[in-house]
Structures are given as C-alpha cells and as structure tokens.
A and B are shown apart, each in its own frame.
Chain A
Amino acid sequence: MTANIKKSTRYQLSDVKKALIIYYIIITAIQVLNWVISLIIRSSTPTILVVGNSSTVDMTSTFFLFVIGLCTFKENFGMLLQNGFSRRSVLTGRLLSYGVMALVMTVVDRVLTLLFNLIGKAVGGFANVTAFELSYGPGGFGWQMLGLLYTLLLYLEMLLMGYCISLMFYRLSKLGKVLVGAGVPVLVLIVGPVLDLNFTGGKVYTAIGQFFMVAFGYADNQPWYAVITLTVISLLASLCAWLMMRRATVRK
C-alpha cells in the first residue's frame, strides 16, 4: 500500500469518526429510553407484559451507512485533490475506509445487540433481533458467523450505494440531476407498475420481485445467496464509482 493510500484511508476514516460516535450515543439513548418506558409501564400496570422483537441496531445502521455513503464524497474529493492525491488514491482510500467501518460496525452492533438483550432480559422492553435472524431465522455458531459476514457485506453495500449515488449526482448536469432525481422514482414506482399492470398483468414486476427473493436467498432460506449477491453488488458499485470518479473534476 502506498503512503498516499494510507493517508487517504486515515483521513477518510477520521472524517466519519464523529458521526459514528454520535450515532452510537443516539442508539444507546433510544435503547435506554425503551427500557425506561418499559419499566414505567410495568410499574404502573404490572399485569401488562411488554414484549416484542426489533432489529433496532443493525437495521438502523444500514440506513445510517447509506446516508454516510451519500455524504462522504464531495468534500473529501476536493480536500484530497487539493492536497496532492490522485483519484485512484482517493477511491482506494475510500473503499478501505468503508471496509474498516463496515467491519467495526458489524462487531460493535453485534456486541450491542447482545448487551442490550442481556440488560433487556432483566429490565424488559423490546428484544433486539438481528436483521439476519429476522430474515433467515436463528441458528448455531456457524449460522451466527454467516450472519456476521452477511451484515458486513450489507453495510459495505449500503455505503457504496450511497457513495455511487452521490458521485453520480456530482457528475450529472443540472438537467441530468432533475431527470434522474425525479424521473427514476416516477418511472420505477409509478409509470413502470402501471404499464406492467396494463400490458402484462404485472408479470414483469412479479418476476423482478421473485428474482430478488432468490438472489437474497429468502425463497429457499439460503443466506449464502445473499452473501454472493451482496458481494457482486459491492464489486459492481466499486467499479461504477471508479468509472465515475476517473474523469471527475473539482467543483466548488
């Protein structure tokens, strides 16, 4: 690894450090609030049992990381190009920093989930279940390790998707931004389903839905399919990011 890639990675990691700390403070605060409410309800009406499942930590992290991906391109790109970094170093550093972030958050989220559940047993309130367990069910040690791998790849994919969208909007002209920003959702969520319903009786969208059910292993309860799909999406997103970044110019 060249010195510039190391520096680029370190800088881009430090850039999200504060956001991560704030995020975990909020997550913990919400969990504590959950316990407090649960305790209040139980103390006032002891006959009511507050139970339920929630995949609070890792599902929230998934959305958080998508937003982080959306927010981490423009300023870093300008800052690093200002300071003598090539686009290759900027992107390589970005990918490495995302890898580190995804790994750290996978571990932290799992620890928090276990910790929250441990305290939750004593206090009451909602139990935390991982997104993996909600999708594919509980299992033994090997299954849990697969769950960690799934979470890691899901996090990485969300970061990269956010990054690619932000890069795409950076590269697009004003008209392009409007067309993509408004046109794609309208096309996919309104025009597409209407046309599909009228011309094929909804077969296209059903097929797309079934494809995703298979690709993410929901149909056969096969998380390995999801691992492969997430890996492919992450690789494609990295490639797209490079194709968009290699000709990106600095803009104010």
Chain B
Amino acid sequence: MAIEIKGLTKHYGNVQALRGIDLTLEPGKIYGLLGRNGAGKTTMLNILTGRQFATAGTVSMDGAPIAENDEALRQIYMLSEATYYPESMKVREAIKWSAAFYPDFDSSYADELTGRFGLNVNSRVSALSTGYNTIFKLIVALACGAPYLFLDEPVLGLDANHRDLFYKSLIQRYSDKPCCVVLSTHLVEEVSTLVEDVVIIHQGSILKHQTREELLAQGYTVTGSAAKVDAYAAGKNVIGTDAIGGLKTVYILGQRGEGAEGLEFTGLDLQRLFVQLTND
C-alpha cells in the first residue's frame, strides 16, 4: 500500500511551487522531508492529503487516486502548522471526534500521552499555546492508528523536554505499529537519527532521495590546521568550509582516500550536508 506521486506540479500564479515531483512513499518507512523555507514541502503534503489541488501530476494509493477518495484519505493523518479544529472545541471533544473518525484510534494511548505531555484536555483548542497546540495535534497523530502520518513541523513551539518526549513517543508508536511517517522539519539534526530515507526538496524539485546512510556516505569531513586541510582538499569536491582561528574544517563529497597526518576524518552530518546542498 504505497503512495505514488508522479509529475506533481503546482503553480500559484507565476510562482512554481512544485516542479514535476516523482516520489514513492512506502509503508513502514520513516522519511525526512527536508527543504528550505518555501521549497514546497507543505504544498506537497497538502496535495497528498487532498487539501489543495495539483496543477498537474497524479497522487495514488495502490493505483487509486487519493483525491476525493475517502478510503485512501482515511489512511492518512496530516499534522500541519495551521490548526483546522474548531476554535470553540475543547481538546477532550477534539480527541473524542478523532476517535470517531479513525477506526483504529487508540483512546487509552491518547489518554496516556496527554498525561505524559501534561496537556489540559479541558482547554479550548484555540486557547492552547503554540507548543501545546502542536502537542495536541501530535497526540491525535500518534493515537489515530493511520498507516500514514505526515508531520509538518511537528516540534513547532515545543521545548527541549517535549521534543525529546515526542521523538521517544514516535519511536514507541513506530515499534508497536509500524507506519509510514513523513517528518517535515527544519530541525534536521534532531531527526537525522530517526529517518530512514531523506528527501530533500529544493525550489520545488527533489534534489536528493536516498537512504540516510547512502546520503551521508557520499562525503566526509576533514578537520585540522588550515594549511594542512587546504593542501589535502586541493583538487577535491569541497562543498563547504568552516574556520575558527587556525583550525579549519572542510566538507568534501567523494570517497575518502588515504588518511593524512595531523588531520581528523569524520562522517558528514545531515544538517551540514543539507545546508551545503541547498545553498544558492
């Protein structure tokens, strides 16, 4: 039961938000959907869930179009930055209705999570702070039992403790009931250990779609004195540099060759690679 995206294109007037995206989201995988502001991540997720319409291209689940398909749409829960729950609705009611809408909703798990996160279920959704609003939507997402979870900015407004609790809860949910999770976030480093596949969108196109290991194996980092690092890096595909005092770090794409005395070799980190790949 995979979601297949073919030639997905979206125009907003003269602005081209998506340019022919081809992507398959497989069940049971955790994807990191990375991209700079305005890259097209949210637009793509909104089209996948039928909230917006594509200018061209198709989105299907098991060969059937997702748009206007209740059966397919019920398999997906999307947490978005915007809140679409009625403002006057209390958190308790919103969770109750979510349980009525999603047949596999786990109410006891939702109760457990509200306790763990300290969410007041008697508050109105509109009265929640940014962080607790995100927590409320995260709890519904984790408890709804949908096989596809699209989490767009899932840690918006969350403090470090709550972010940690969310990542742990997500892993627990994934281990108990494997599902396809798409994590769209700017906090690249925080999700780098969670994701299996990385999809980098840049200016409406997919720049990279590889497993995290494949992506990070494409390069390495060399640190040492500026002179030695420069000498080593000469003629290599350097994608970025950092320098503090006499100490220099270069990020190189390509296979690591022989080591050199006085230089430290480490792997690339996802955030650094992302920044270098998407720098215009």
Chain A residues with CB under 8 Å of chain B are: 2, 4, 7, 10-11, 15, 75-76, 78-79, 81-89, 247, 249-250, 252
The verdict on B51 contacting chain A, using a C-beta distance below 8 Å, is yes
Bound-complex Cα distance A247 to B76 (A): 20
In the assembled complex, which residues on chain B have CB atoms less than 8 Å from the CB atom of A7? 100-101
10 A-B pairs with C-beta separation under 8 A = A79-B86, A82-B78, A84-B101, A84-B146, A85-B70, A86-B69, A86-B70, A87-B50, A247-B53, A252-B82
Check if B51 sits within 8 Å of A86, measured CB to CB.
no
**Does B102 lie at the interface of the complex (its beta carbon under 8 Å from any beta carbon of A)?**
yes
Cβ-defined partner of B102 (8 Å) among A78, A83, A250? A83
Given known A-B contacts A79-B85, A86-B69, A250-B84, A4 and B74 have beta carbons under 8 A apart: yes
- Whether a CB of chain A sits under 8 angstroms from the CB of B241 is no
Cα(A170)–Cα(B137), bound, Å: 25
Contact A84 B85 (CB under 8 A): no
Asked if B220 CB lies within 8 Å of chain A CBs, one says: no
Residues of A within 8 A of B80 (CB): 82
Measured in the bound complex, the distance between the Cα atoms of B87 and A78 in whole Å is 11
A250 touches B51 (CB 8 A): yes
Number of B residues, CB within 8 Å of A: 28
Of all chain A residues, the one with the shortest Cβ separation from B67 is A86
Residue with the greatest number of chain B CB neighbours at <10 A, chosen from A83, A85, A89: A83
Instruction: Give every chain B residue within 8 A of A75 (Cβ-Cβ).
Output: 86-87
Rounded to whole Å, the gap between the CB of A74 and the closest CB of chain B is: 9
The minimal Cβ–Cβ distance linking B186 to chain A, given in whole angstroms, is: 20
Q: Helix, strand, loop or mixed for chain B's interface?
A: loop
Q: How far is the CB of B172 from chain A (nearest CB, A)?
A: 23
B97 touches A4 (CB 8 A): no
**Taking A79-B85, A250-B46, A252-B82 as contacts, is the C-beta distance between A84 and B77 under 8 angstroms?**
yes
Tell me, in angstroms, the Cα distance from A218 to B130 when the chains sit together.
Answer: 57
Q: Which residue of A lies closest to B146 (CB)?
A: A84
Q: Which residues of B contact A (CB under 8 A)?
A: 46, 49-53, 68-70, 73-78, 80, 82-87, 97-98, 100-102, 146
Cβ–Cβ contact A82 & B74, under 8 A: no
A252 partner residues in chain B, CB cutoff 8 A? 82-84
CB distance from A75 to the nearest CB of B (A): 4
Q: Which residues of B contact A82 (CB under 8 A)?
A: 78, 80, 84-85
- SS class, residues of chain A in contact with chain B: helix
CA–CA, A112 and B240, complex, Å: 78
Provide the residues of chain A in CB contact with B76, threshold 8 Å. 84
Do A81 and B51 touch (CB < 8 A)? yes
Complex interface: chain A residues within 8 A of B68 (CB)? 86-88
Q: Tell me how far the C-beta of A160 lies from the nearest C-beta in chain B, rounded to whole angstroms.
A: 21
Chain A residues near B70: list those with CB within 8 A: 2, 4, 84-86, 88-89
> Which A residue sits closest to B81, measured CB to CB?
A252
Q: How far in angstroms is the closest Cβ of chain A from B218?
A: 38
Extra A-B contacts (10), CB below 8 Å, given A84-B74, A250-B84: A7-B100, A7-B101, A10-B100, A11-B101, A78-B85, A83-B101, A84-B146, A86-B70, A87-B68, A247-B53
Q: Give the one of A4, A79, A88, A247 with max B CB within 10 A.
A: A79
Q: A15–B146 Cα gap in the complex (Å)?
A: 25
Sorted nearest first, the 4 A-B pairs with minimum C-beta distance are A78-B84, A82-B84, A250-B51, A252-B82
Establish whether residues A85 and B85, one from each chain, have CB atoms under 8 Å apart when the complex forms: no
The answer for the CA separation of A7 and B100 in the assembled complex, in Å, is 8
Cβ contacts under 8 Å, A89 to chain B: 70
Contact between A11 and B77, CB atoms less than 8 A apart: no
A2, A4, A79, A81: the one within 8 Å of B50 (CB):
A81
A83 to B98, alpha carbons, bound, how many Å? 7
Shortest CB-to-CB span from A246 to chain B, Å, is: 8
Q: Which residue of B lies closest to A75 (CB)?
A: B86
| Residues from chain B with Cβ under 8 Å of A15 in the complex | 86
A78: B residues at CB distance < 8 A: 84-85
A88 CA / B68 CA spacing, docked (Å): 7
A11 neighbours in B (Cβ, 8 Å): 97, 100-101
Which of B51, B69, B78, B98 contacts A249 (CB under 8 A)?
B51
Nearest-CB distance from B244 to chain A (Å)?
Answer: 43
Q: Contact: A86 with B82, CB < 8 Å?
A: no
Q: Which residue of B lies closest to A11 (CB)?
A: B97
Q: Which residue of A lies closest to B79 (CB)?
A: A82
When C-beta atoms are compared, the residue in chain B nearest to A89 turns out to be: B70
Residue of A with least CB distance to B80? A82
State whether A84 touches B100 (Cβ < 8 A): no
Residues in A with CB closer than 8 Å to B52 are 249-250
